[in-house]
Amino acid sequence: MKIQPATHQPVAEGILAASKATVSCLRCNTELTDYRPTRFTFLPYGISRGHAMLVCPKCGHVEFLAKESPLLDELAPIPSDGGDDD
């Protein structure tokens, strides 16, 4: 058996195209347009890191992402209504 050298095959357009990237709901595939910043922590008595909450307007599915996630670059933040985010 002879091993063939790897050849470069172009990736289909749309898979990794950053300019056409959209964020969709994992359950119903509805396109998401905004997120809400939150200081929710997953650890008891843990330090509050920045997270973002995505809520699907169609099915209500909720996802939490790190505030530094590159997926949030395509979405608009929803401003807080006030208070101290408790």
**pLDDT for 22-47, tens place per residue?**
889 999 999 999 998 887 666 676 66
Q: Where are the domains of the chain?
A: 20-77
**Global confidence as pTM:** 0.60
| CATH class of the domain at 20-77 | mainly beta
Per-residue pLDDT of 44-82, as tens digits, reads: 766 666 788 899 999 999 998 888 888 888 889 988 766
| Pairing label, strands 31-32, 76-77 | unpaired
| Pairing label, strands 62-66, 34-38 | unpaired
Instruction: Give me 63's structure tokens.
Output: 């996802």
CB 63 within 8 A of CB 26: yes
